[in-house]
Structure 1
Amino acid sequence: MIHRIEPDGVYGLPDLVSQISVPDGRRLAFLSGQVAWDEEGRVVGEGDHAVQAAQVALRIDRLLDALGARRQDIVKETIYVVDHEPHLTPSILAALHGAQPPSSTLVGVTKLFAPEFLIEVECVVALPDRKPDEEQACAR
């Protein structure tokens, strides 16, 4: 289980991000920064932050699925946004977050590794408990 904590006396936006995320006795996985590539390596949504955020979310969902995890298992994310403006934040976070938002940092940047990408997201995931036979399968 992941506990999301919003302490008194610390202003935040609890519908958008959690101030503290604490996983109970879980292993962690670290997802590399994800950008808006499709399955063939083509850029999706060039010039559109919201479309790129949706594609990044799809890629993260696929990585989570490979781990047997879900968006609720993300405990920390860092979102890099090219040419960030405050009005972009709701559509970006809406695409990335499930019912319970993780602890999150959004960083405005001038550019990413290639000019067509507007968003990159890296995540820390608390992996769900597995049975011993699943441990063997993942070790291969």
Structure 2
Amino acid sequence: MRRIRRFNTRDTYPDQALDNDLCQAVVANDTVYLRGQVGTDFDGNLVGPGDPAAQADQAMVNVAQLLSEAGTDLDHIVKITVYITDPRYREPVYRVIGRWLKGVYPVSTGLVVSGLARAEWLMEIDVIAVLPTGDAGEAPGAGGKP
């Protein structure tokens, strides 16, 4: 098992009394599990305050980066779970995700939730991917950055 971008929640949430050791991604066997990604870059800067589409785009930038660090890419995503804090955000968020995952065909679950860990976060995407094996039966290059 390999852990990517380890951190402690006391640094991520300095306004909360937390002290949990986590990471952004775990590679276990041939599966890559990502931490839920939001509209915050890896330096902690919120991208697109009040804009669910901009936050979704930053979340997908993060997803692509983490998958690359794990040794895979967007083409190898098998499952996504999308959380939105308002049903009106569904279309803008899913349009962005759809551009990033055009031709990938993952299974997907979408949920409307009352809130995320920070009030300014409007969406979050949870991703599971696999490492490439060369025998998946799909042509390479099926998905990628728009």
- Asked if TM exceeds 0.5, the reply is yes
Q: Please say if 1:55 is aligned against 2:27.
A: no
Greater RCO (Cα-Cα under 8 Å, separation 6 or more): 1
| Rounded Cα–Cα distance in structure 2 between residues aligned with 1:87 and 1:111 | 18
| Rounded Cα–Cα distance in structure 2 between residues aligned with 1:89 and 1:67 | 25
The amino acid that maps onto 2:69 is A
The amino acid that maps onto 2:117 is F
Identity in percent: 31
| Rounded Cα–Cα distance in structure 2 between residues aligned with 1:57 and 1:104 | 15
- Please tell me whether Structure 1 or Structure 2 has the larger radius of gyration of its CA atoms: 1
Q: Please say if 1:104 is aligned against 2:108.
A: yes
Gaps of 5+ in 1: 1-25, 131-140
Aligned length: 105
Q: Deviations over 1:23-60 (max 9, x none)?
A: xxx71111111111123211111111110010000000
SS for the counterpart of 1:91 is helix
Asked if structure 2 preserves the Cα contact closer than 8 Å seen for 1:72 and 1:102, the reply is: no
Counterpart in the other structure of 2:49: 46
Q: Please say if 1:78 is aligned against 2:75.
A: no
Please provide the CA RMSD for this pair.
2.0
| Rounded Cα–Cα distance in structure 1 between residues aligned with 2:99 and 2:58 | 9
Gaps of 5+ in 2: 1-28, 135-146
The amino acid that maps onto 2:110 is L
From 102, 114, 124, the equivalent of 1:120 is: 124
Q: Please say if 1:66 is aligned against 2:59.
A: no
The amino acid that maps onto 2:66 is L
Asked if structure 2 preserves the Cα contact closer than 8 Å seen for 1:74 and 1:126, the reply is: yes
| Rounded Cα–Cα distance in structure 2 between residues aligned with 1:112 and 1:95 | 24
Give 4+ residue runs of structure 1 displaced > 3 Å after superposition: 86-90
